Amino acid sequence: MEATGTSRAEVRVNETPRTPLVLKIEPTGAYRIVDEFKEEDISKQEDGSFRVTSDMPSGEWLYQYLLSYGDLLEVIEPVSVRLEMRNRTTKMAEKYFR
């Protein structure tokens, strides 16, 4: 592994199952997406928001990453990830509306 220049962490990430995503990012989130996604995965929409299509590692890391965008992000696809985000944000909101 080391002889080819590939680290163990890179190998593990490459072996992790991936989830294809379609995301809507608010215009004020542009500063993040230009650093975190490939240019060809980003398209600006008429309303000023951005559509991002990307495959990302599946699992808990994915949800923590998506939640880090706060209200700047909406998961469009897949429906399973969208529903899980709804469940998680609902649980979060319930803590503040008791």
Average pLDDT, integer, range 12-27: 89
Q: In this model, does residue 16 exceed pLDDT 90?
A: no
> How far, in Å, are 40, 43, 48 from residue 62 at the CA level?
21, 21, 25
With 0.75 as the threshold, say if the pTM is over it: yes
* Alpha carbon of residue 65 to chain centroid: 6
* Alpha carbon of residue 15 to chain centroid: 18
Average pLDDT, integer, range 69-88: 98
Average pLDDT, integer, range 80-93: 98
Determine the CATH number of domain 18-95: 3.30.70.240
